[in-house]
Structure 1
Amino acid sequence: MSLLPPYRKIIHVDMDAFYASVEQMDNPELQGIPLAVGGGGERGVVAAASYEARKFGVRSAMSGVLARKNCPHLTFVKPRFTRYKEISTQIRAIFNQYTDLVEPLSLDEAYLDVTKNKKNFPSATILAQEIRQQIYNEVGLHASAGISINKFVAKIASDVNKPNGQKTVPPEEVLAFLEALDIKKFYGVGKVTASKMYNLGIFTGKDLKEKSSEFLTEHFKKSGKHYFDIVRGIHLGEVKPDRTRKSVAAEHTFNTNLTSEIYMLEKLEIIAEELSGRLLKPNISGKTITLKIKYSDFTIQTRSKTLPYFVKDKSVLLEQAKDLLYQEEMHESVRLLGISLSNLNTNTIEKEEPVEFQLKLEF
């Protein structure tokens, strides 16, 4: 199995510290200072951190207490998901000026397939530069980008020159790029998997490439075949703007386990607001609300309720999630809560568009 054409030209655009950057843009007093979006109280959690705060070790999903310990002069602001959604819509409109093949991953990142684009321009690298500049000119925010032959490599590349930078990995450099990469930099390889790979002597892409498909399948089950392919630059997933969304979810993991339902209700309100903000299209709603609970012993429980009508408002999501929370008693302290909305009103059929030509593309 080898890396052969036809190659697509994929751009992964990732907004830099999106929530925090929006807050700094809207409030000049917040510019240039360590800023965290989220709760700074005893039970608060950081949803996003500015680059000024990251210099002090403040990261998303960190407890507010630890964040203040790392950075005593840290400023906290409450998240405004309605505003983030508004900005995201503006950015999406810019993407659509270049291609209709746009696949949003969240409010602040998306894949763009520019193999054939509306500008009829051959260089994906220059298109990425133009897109980032247009976002800054029209919206006022910085974005980073990764450009390569598939979504997997583009996603990794977008993180290389952050913030406000981009990285192109052309076809002839893909294999060397992946071989030199620390295994923890591979998109989708989390801390647990990375630790397991380290124990197996897999520290870089080169180490991973030396392992057989059978070896990886033995140790990583179905994911083994995926790891075998991606380190060889093989990732056939297409950019699908019209893919059917089966569910939309938001969840938070807590540094300190929750034992009181009062604290859980506070967290559910934040999660419900975030979930509402992730409904990118105004016409997306759903009938089934699911509460996800992960306990301190790492067991996971889900509780669902299907309504006779479609819902999307934060108040309704929160009300139903509260009912599910009180449905039965907790048997352990809680380390994660999540709310998902499924049984959606989206009936879009996925379409796959083949690349119709085979030639060496200018990156």
Structure 2
Amino acid sequence: MEQNNTYRKIIHVDMDAFYASVEQLDNPALKGKPIAVGGGGERGVVSAASYEARKFGVRSAMSGVIARKKCPQLIFVKPRFERYKEISKKIRSIFYEYTDLVEPLSLDEAYLDVTENKKGIPSASLLAKEIRKRILDELHLNASAGISSSKFIAKIASDINKPNGQKTIPPEEIISFLEELPIKKFFGIGKVTAARMYNLGIFKGSDLKAKSETFLTQHFKSSGLHYYNIVRGIHNSKVKPNRERKSVAAEQTFNTNLTSEIFMMEKLKQISEELEERLQKAKVSGKTVTLKIKYSDFKTQTRSKTLPYFIKEKAILLDTVKELLYQEKVLNSVRLLGISVSNLNIHLKNKPEKPLNIQFKFEF
């Protein structure tokens, strides 16, 4: 890999089927059974599925109707986000006993930079094993982990031995690992991009590596340079313990599809009121307002407008969203509406990244 002898030690910890596992933990009668957190009705969507349910093909973001067809014995459980947040805080408190460089990605996963850790343990693999054991012993939940010298590789690695496992990819193995990795397994490459790559003869990392930077930027624009770098193990993003919040949002899914803009405006008024409360609670305001429309066929459309000033008041939000709603005709009946505010007034000092002054054998 085109780097010097100094590397970071990054662990990506990912809880296994977190929401579903918490429900099974709190209700032992659900253990070993296929469960889905979310709604099982005609309008319901699966937020998370237990591993027992995944065996039948049930996945998150799947409609409740389809999930029940795939697994007729599926048990639906209403989500309890306050409970998930409570458990997540306990998990993070364990992380902070090892390092202050913790970057949460969501309630159930986080990056940890353990290059210099509070326990003085040189092996990142042993640290990950100890952290996972503590989560199991203290919270009775399983976690998986990926360990490597970059966030990108650690993220991919954490998925390899799921559930309740870990995978270490040391620096000297990164290039060969990436060359053999199916392109759909690259973190950040979704189904649409993967399909485009297949059409270009790119099926695994070695195929991607064979393409020039010019070729990739021609076909994938600004993402082309990113793909060119990551397949060569070049990904220097550091763990950021204070992640900048990028947006605040609120949305509603309706029991009955909406066909009239008048009814949509009634719902958007409620959503704007909820969003105002969230903005006030977060003590932020923003310039860019985005209207999200999900149609009855599950296609999603967004319309945005950037204002010359920061806002958080529901009246201005509603006026802006009204303009966005009426700027063109809706394509179909609507099952979900959402409003988000981005381009927030959170200004963090962008300091240049300092090189690590740490020399050691990368011990795994």
Task: Give the structure-2-normalised TM-score.
Answer: 0.83
Larger Rg: 2
> Which residue does the alignment assign to 1:216?
216
> Which residue does the alignment assign to 1:110?
110
Task: Summarize deviations over 1:29-79 as a string: whole Å, max 9, x none.
Answer: 111110001110111110100000000000000000000000001010111
Name the SS for the 1:36 alignment partner: strand
Shift of 1:354: 3.4
- Measured at CA, do residues 223 and 335 of structure 1 come closer, stay the same or move farther in structure 2, by a change above 3 Å? farther
Instruction: Give the one of 263, 284, 287 matched to 1:286.
Output: 284
Name the SS for the 2:104 alignment partner: strand
> Which residue does the alignment assign to 1:313?
none
Instruction: Give the one of 275, 300, 310 matched to 2:302.
Output: 300
Q: In 1, are the aligned partners of 2:304 and 2:324 still within 8 Å (CA)? A: no
> Which residue does the alignment assign to 2:79?
79
1 CA distance for matches of 2:5 and 2:127? 21
Shift of 1:6: 1.8
2 CA distance for matches of 1:197 and 1:253? 34
2 CA distance for matches of 1:88 and 1:166? 20
Letter in 2 for 1:331: V
Task: Summarize deviations over 1:304-341 as a string: whole Å, max 9, x none.
Answer: 8999769xxxxx9xxx7899579846612247654435
Letter in 1 for 2:14: D
- Measured at CA, do residues 60 and 242 of structure 1 come closer, stay the same or move farther in structure 2, by a change above 3 Å? same
- Measured at CA, do residues 250 and 213 of structure 1 come closer, stay the same or move farther in structure 2, by a change above 3 Å? farther
- Measured at CA, do residues 63 and 211 of structure 1 come closer, stay the same or move farther in structure 2, by a change above 3 Å? same
> Which residue does the alignment assign to 1:331?
330
Task: Summarize deviations over 1:190-234 as a string: whole Å, max 9, x none.
Answer: 111000000000000011111111111111111111001000110
Shift of 1:265: 9.2
Name the SS for the 1:286 alignment partner: coil
2 CA distance for matches of 1:268 and 1:157? 44
2 CA distance for matches of 1:224 and 1:193? 11
Task: Summarize deviations over 1:140-187 as a string: whole Å, max 9, x none.
Answer: 211100000100000000000000100000011101111110000000
Shift of 1:260: 4.9
Shift of 1:360: 2.9
Letter in 2 for 1:171: P
What are the residue-to-residue correspondences of 1:164-313 with 2, within 5 Å?
164-249=164-249, 258-260=257-259, 284-288=282-286, 290-293=290-293, 299-302=301-304
Letter in 2 for 1:332: L
Structure 2, unpaired ranges of 5+? none
1 CA distance for matches of 2:63 and 2:348? 39
Shift of 1:350: 5.3
> Which residue does the alignment assign to 1:44?
44
Letter in 1 for 2:357: E
Q: In 2, are the aligned partners of 1:216 and 1:227 still within 8 Å (CA)? A: yes
Name the SS for the 2:159 alignment partner: coil
1 CA distance for matches of 2:137 and 2:264? 42
2 CA distance for matches of 1:98 and 1:356? 20
Shift of 1:359: 3.7
Name the SS for the 1:340 alignment partner: strand
Counting aligned pairs with the same residue, the percent is: 63
Q: In 2, are the aligned partners of 1:285 and 1:345 still within 8 Å (CA)? A: no
Q: In 1, are the aligned partners of 2:290 and 2:302 still within 8 Å (CA)? A: no
Shift of 1:91: 0.9
Backbone CA RMSD of aligned residues? 3.8
1 CA distance for matches of 2:337 and 2:235? 32
> Which residue does the alignment assign to 1:358?
359
- Measured at CA, do residues 353 and 131 of structure 1 come closer, stay the same or move farther in structure 2, by a change above 3 Å? farther
What are the residue-to-residue correspondences of 1:4-15 with 2, within 5 Å?
4-15=4-15
Q: In 1, are the aligned partners of 2:293 and 2:300 still within 8 Å (CA)? A: no
2 CA distance for matches of 1:46 and 1:264? 27
Q: Indicate the larger mover: 147-156 or 290-299.
A: 290-299
Name the SS for the 1:138 alignment partner: helix
2 CA distance for matches of 1:208 and 1:253? 40
- Measured at CA, do residues 27 and 326 of structure 1 come closer, stay the same or move farther in structure 2, by a change above 3 Å? farther
What are the residue-to-residue correspondences of 1:62-73 with 2, within 5 Å?
62-73=62-73
Letter in 2 for 1:82: E
Q: In 2, are the aligned partners of 1:12 and 1:151 still within 8 Å (CA)? A: yes
Shift of 1:283: 7.0
Letter in 1 for 2:39: G
Name the SS for the 1:192 alignment partner: helix
Letter in 2 for 1:94: I
- Measured at CA, do residues 214 and 122 of structure 1 come closer, stay the same or move farther in structure 2, by a change above 3 Å? same
2 CA distance for matches of 1:268 and 1:359? 58
Q: In 2, are the aligned partners of 1:292 and 1:303 still within 8 Å (CA)? A: no
1 CA distance for matches of 2:354 and 2:253? 38
Name the SS for the 2:211 alignment partner: coil
